[in-house]
Structures are given as structure tokens and as C-alpha cells.
DNA sequence: AGTACGCCCTGGCCGC
DNA sequence: TGCGGCCAGGGCGTAC
């Protein structure tokens, strides 16, 4: 499932192809894609003839800056953005629900088996407020005091890490991996974390996200980068989907519980 | 405020 | 081999 690192890898792949390029035409064939705002035809019209200025990322969202408006894309569980130069690379199939044809050459395809993803148009100056996502964990603004403030809550730490309104971009994989590296049990009450645990958690979050980007993402399920290639970070997972296997650090069997309706993996010895 | 649950969706997997 | 049933899971709405 695409989280911050996967979205960032795809963003970097796409940037040189789309930046400064004009959208010649757009087609959206799955109405569910625009369920949050607007209609397929409305989005197609808003994209027609527009030039892509910047391609930014906010949490798990792609933001294509078109000037006054922006195109926002979220991949959900199984969404993919795939770049294809004419006659080369990805060919659209039954799961391909949208495409943007760029002037000159190249087409950007949106493919999504489970249709949990979405795309919509927002006025550029209202994107930040409408998306309402929290601090970017890789930004300098994600200081220990900021995480400490977020942790002033009675909720358990893992569901808190998944709350996009608090911290942007962490999903199930990187939450479990960060908590393992910080040696914190996912069921701990956030407000019970000591200062040194908060510092360790902040460091662990940044380390796993940066490692995820460096290794081009985690290819659980059907994640692929913009060129259709899988990521390599899954080989470095210490707990995620490793339940029943031995902890790399202490040998204890990794456990799986359900927390906040999410499969949660941890080492009962290393994480306290 | 925190937590649970259902819903969306569909490939993959299990059991028979 | 085939088929019914169940599951995962990000995000959101609703209920307690």
C-alpha cells in the first residue's frame, strides 16, 4: 500500500516527465475516482490544456500544480500512477480508470484495482486547508517538541501514528517498523511515552521513511513505481508481515494483533 | 475524546 | 477443478 515513501518515489520519477508540460487531454472512466469533489467530466475539463507547474507531495497526496487550480491524487490501497512514453511501457487494462495525455509525448495512467484512491481538483490556495493533514515527518518542523505535543493524547501510539491529521504520510507498514526500531509497543498510551522514547520514536520514524525512499518503497500487495517496478524495502522489514517468524534482534517470535482495525506486528520482548 | 464497527472494493486464499 | 465464503486495509461516517 502506498505510504509516504512510495508516493515520494513516484513523485520523483514523474517530475521530469510532467513538469512544465501541457495536458493535451484527460479521460476519467471510473466515476468513483471523483467521489470527494466534482465529477469525471468536471475534472477532465479542469485539466484540459493546463500546464503542470510543480508536482508536490503532502502526506500520501500528490499535488499537481496547474496554476490557479491543482489536481490532487491519492492512491488508496492499490492505486498506481504509471508513466508511458508513446508505444513504450505500460499498456492500459481493465483496472486503468484515468489517463492524462501530455503534449508532445507521454501519457500518465491511473490504475487502481480496488478503487479506494481518488482524484479531484481544488483551488491551489485551498489545498492545504482542505486536505487537513498534519506535520510532514521529514520536514525540519517535525521537532521532538512537536511530536511530544502530538503525543499528549489518551489514545494508543500506533493509531495515533496512522492519524493523517496529526502526522502526514505514515501508514500501517512504516508505523509498525518505526515502533519496532524505537522499541515501543504499539499498544502504549501516547501520553505515557517518556521524553527519550519520544526522541527515539521521532528518529525511528524519520529513519524508516528515509530508508523506504532510498530502497524505492515497500512492495507489499501490488505497489509499483511510476515505471511499474517493485520496491525493495520489503526485504528490510523487521516486523511487518513477519508474525510467527523470529525477531532479528532477540529471536522471540513476532506477534500479530489487531489494533484500531489494523493488523499490527511487534516483538513482545524488544518493544515495551 | 477515544474506540468500535461497517462500508467501499476485489484478488487471493481456504475449505470442501 | 470449481465454487462459496472470508479477509485485508486507508479513510470516512456513524454510534456508543
Q: Which residues 167 to 186 of A reach strand C, CB within 7 A?
A: 171-173
Residue A90 pLDDT grade (very low, low, confident, very high; cuts 50, 70, 90): confident
Q: Could you identify the residue whose CA is nearest to the C1' atom of nucleotide B11?
A: A113
User: Does position A231 have pLDDT exceeding 90, yes or no?
Assistant: no
pLDDT, one tens digit per residue, over A190-211 is 999 999 999 999 999 999 999 9
Active site residue A158: no
The one-character DSSP state at A253 is B
Alpha carbons A113 and A106: distance in angstroms, whole number: 23
Active site residue A3: yes
Instruction: Copy the grid coordinates of residue A18.
Output: 510532467
Which of A50, A57, A58, A60 is flagged as catalytic? A60
Rounded to whole angstroms, the distance from the CA of residue A261 to the C1' of nucleotide B4 is 8
Q: Decide: CB of A7 under 7 A of nucleic strand C.
A: no
User: Does position A220 have pLDDT exceeding 90, yes or no?
Assistant: no
Residue A243 pLDDT grade (very low, low, confident, very high; cuts 50, 70, 90): confident
Residue A219 pLDDT grade (very low, low, confident, very high; cuts 50, 70, 90): low
Instruction: Copy the grid coordinates of residue A70.
Output: 491543482
Query: What is the pLDDT at residue A232?
Result: 77
Query: What is the pLDDT at residue A222?
Result: 61
Alpha carbons A206 and A28: distance in angstroms, whole number: 36
Contact A113, A222 (CB under 8 A): yes
Q: What percent of chain A is predicted at pLDDT more than 70? A: 97
User: Does position A176 have pLDDT exceeding 80, yes or no?
Assistant: yes
Residues with CB under 7 A from strand B: A 32, 113-116, 153-156, 159, 259-261
Strand nucleotide closest to residue A115 (CA to C1'): B9
Give the full edge-to-edge strand order of the sheet including A55-58: A55-58, A61-65, A69-74, A118-123
User: Does position A227 have pLDDT exceeding 80, yes or no?
Assistant: no
Alpha carbons A198 and A176: distance in angstroms, whole number: 15
Strand nucleotide closest to residue A189 (CA to C1'): B2
Covered bases, chain C (protein CB within 7 Å): 8-12
pLDDT, one tens digit per residue, over A252-272 is 999 999 898 888 999 999 999
Q: What percent of chain A is predicted at pLDDT more than 90? A: 79
Query: What is the pLDDT at residue A104?
Result: 84
CA distances from A62 to A65, A144, A155, A197, A207 (A): 10, 27, 29, 32, 22
Alpha carbons A162 and A205: distance in angstroms, whole number: 12
Cβ neighbours, 10 Å, residue A67: 10
Lowest mean pLDDT among A23-27, A122-126, A215-219, A268-272: A215-219
Amino acid at each position: 500500500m502506498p505510504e509516504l515513501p512510495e508516493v515520494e518515489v513516484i513523485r520523483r520519477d514523474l517530475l521530469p516527465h510532467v513538469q512544465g508540460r501541457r495536458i493535451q487531454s484527460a479521460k476519467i472512466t471510473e466515476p468513483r475516482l471523483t467521489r470527494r469533489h466534482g465529477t469525471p467530466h468536471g475534472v477532465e475539463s479542469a485539466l484540459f490544456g493546463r500546464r503542470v507547474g510543480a508536482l508536490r507531495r503532502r502526506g500520501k497526496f500528490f499535488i499537481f500544480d496547474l496554476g490557479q487550480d491543482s489536481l490532487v491524487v491519492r492512491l488508496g490501497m492499490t492505486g498506481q500512477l504509471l508513466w508511458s512514453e508513446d508505444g513504450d511501457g505500460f499498456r492500459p487494462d481493465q483496472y486503468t480508470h484515468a489517463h492524462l495525455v501530455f503534449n508532445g509525448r507521454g501519457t500518465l495512467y491511473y490504475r487502481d484495482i480496488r478503487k479506494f484512491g481518488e482524484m479531484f481538483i481544488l483551488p491551489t490556495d485551498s489545498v492545504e486547508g482542505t486536505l487537513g493533514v498534519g506535520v510532514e515527518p521529514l520536514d525540519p518542523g517535525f521537532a521532538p517538541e512537536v511530536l511530544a505535543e502530538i503525543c499528549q493524547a489518551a489514545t494508543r501510539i500506533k493509531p495515533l501514528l496512522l492519524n493523517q491529521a496529526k502526522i502526514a504520510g505514515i501508514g500501517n507498514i512504516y508505523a509498525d517498523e518505526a515502533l519496532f526500531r524505537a522499541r515501543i509497543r504499539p499498544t502504549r498510551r501516547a501520553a505515557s511515552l517518556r521524553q527519550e522514547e519520544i526522541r527515539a520514536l521521532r528518529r525511528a520514524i524519520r529513519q524508516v521513511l528515509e530508508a523506504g525512499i532510498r530502497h524505492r518503497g515497500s512492495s507489499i500487495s501490488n505497489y509499483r513505481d511510476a515505471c511499474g517496478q517493485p520496491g525493495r524495502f520489503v526485504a528490510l522489514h523487521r516486523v511487518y508481515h513477519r508474525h510467527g517468524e523470529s525477531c532479528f534482534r532477540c529471536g522471540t517470535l513476532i506477534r500479530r494483533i489487531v489494533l484500531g482495525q489494523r493488523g499490527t506486528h511487534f516483538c513482545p520482548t524488544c518493544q515495551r
